[in-house]
Chain A
Amino acid sequence: MEELIEKLKREVIEQLNLEDIAPEDIDADSPLFGEGLGLDSIDALELIVLLEKNYGLKIEDPKDGKKIFHSIRTMADYITEHQKP
Chain B
Amino acid sequence: MAAYINGIGLISPQHTTDPALFLPDVMEYTADFLQVINPNYKEYIHPLAARRMSKLIKMGITSAKIAMADAGCQMPDAIITGTGLGSVEDTEKILTSMNAGEQLMNPTPFIQSTYNTISSQIAITLQCHNYNTTYVHRSFSFESALQDALLQCEEKVIKTALVGGIDEMTDNHLLITRRAGHWKMQPVNNLKLLSYQTPGALAGEGSAFFLLRDRHSPGDYGVLRDVKTFFRPKNLRITEQEISTFLSVNNLTVSQLDAVILGYNGDILFDTVYDQLGSGIFSNQQQIWYKHLCGEYYTSTGFAVWLAANILKHQYIPAAVKFNNQPVNPLRQILLYNQYRNTNHSLILISR
Given the known interface contacts A18-B51, A38-B48, A42-B111, the answer about A52 and B106 at a Cβ–Cβ threshold of 8 Å is: no
Contact A53 B108 (CB under 8 A): no
Contact A46 B106 (CB under 8 A): yes
Interface SS of chain B: helix, strand, loop or mixed? helix
- Total interface residues on B, CB under 8 Å, equals 11
| Chain A residues within an 8 Å CB radius of B106 | 15, 46, 49
Q: Report Cα–Cα, A19/B104, bound state, in Å.
A: 23
**Whole-angstrom distance between the Cβ of B44 and the nearest chain A Cβ:** 15
| Chain B residues within an 8 Å CB radius of A59 | none
Contact A49 B51 (CB under 8 A): no
B104-118 interface (Cβ within 8 A of A): 104-108, 111
| Chain B residues within an 8 Å CB radius of A38 | 48
- Choose among A17, A45, A52, A53 the residue that contacts B51 (Cβ–Cβ < 8 A): A17
Q: Report Cα–Cα, A16/B49, bound state, in Å.
A: 11
**Whole-angstrom distance between the Cβ of A65 and the nearest chain B Cβ:** 14
Q: Report Cα–Cα, A53/B103, bound state, in Å.
A: 9
Residue A81 interfacial (CB < 8 Å) = no
Q: Report Cα–Cα, A12/B51, bound state, in Å.
A: 13
Residue B318 interfacial (CB < 8 Å) = no
Residue A61 interfacial (CB < 8 Å) = no
Residue B52 interfacial (CB < 8 Å) = yes
A: residues with CB less than 8 A from B are 15-20, 38, 42, 45-46, 49, 52-53
**Given A16-B51, A42-B108, 16 other A-B contacts at CB below 8 A?**
A15-B106, A17-B51, A18-B51, A19-B47, A20-B47, A38-B48, A45-B107, A46-B106, A46-B107, A46-B108, A49-B104, A49-B105, A49-B106, A49-B107, A52-B104, A53-B104
